[in-house]
Amino acid sequence: MSTDHQKIENVIQVYFACMYESSSDKAHAAFHPDAWISGYLPNGYQHMTVSEFGDFVAAQQPSPKSKGEPARLEVISLEVAGQTAVARVRDGYLGLVFLDTLSFIKLEGQWLILNKLFHVET
């Protein structure tokens, strides 16, 4: 596995931890400040900034981790093209299973999520 793949998978772990631990700080660590989080929840279309997403995950108290919920994260695919990458991940959050498409950008040697598109599978 290339170093870039490892670094991106580490960012994916931070991304998942932000939700699992209800951590706004980890959301800001994983995402580029200008990123958008968009997709459909059962109540309709959602479109959030990183700050809005960070506030949302932080508001989920107690966190899924502290409630002892099982962690579910599966990296389905990861493709790197120069300073960009895309990953498909499946994760469990708030009783739902999501299929996320995460786009990444490498800036000054650091990989960050530039955009997240999500789809609720169940």
Q: Do residues 48 and 39 make contact, with C-beta atoms less than 8 angstroms apart?
A: no
Q: State the pLDDT at residue 2.
A: 75
Residues 55-88: pLDDT tens digits? 999 999 999 999 999 999 999 999 999 999 999 9
Our count of domains for the chain comes to 1
Range of the domain at 31: 3-120
Report whether pLDDT(1) > 70.
no
State the amino acid at position 106 in one-letter form. Answer: K
Helices (H), the chain: 3-20, 24-30, 50-58
Which 8-state DSSP code applies to residue 71? P
Question: What tens digit of pLDDT does each residue of 31-47 get?
Answer: 999 999 999 998 999 99
Whichever domain contains 21, its CATH number is 3.10.450.50
Residue 54's φ and ψ, nearest 5 degrees, are -60, -45
The predicted pLDDT at position 119 comes to 97
In degrees rounded to 5, what are phi and psi of residue 119? -135, 130
Give per-residue pLDDT as tens, 81-107.
Answer: 999 999 999 999 999 999 999 999 999
How many helical (H) and strand (E) elements, i.e. helices and strands, does the chain have? 3, 6
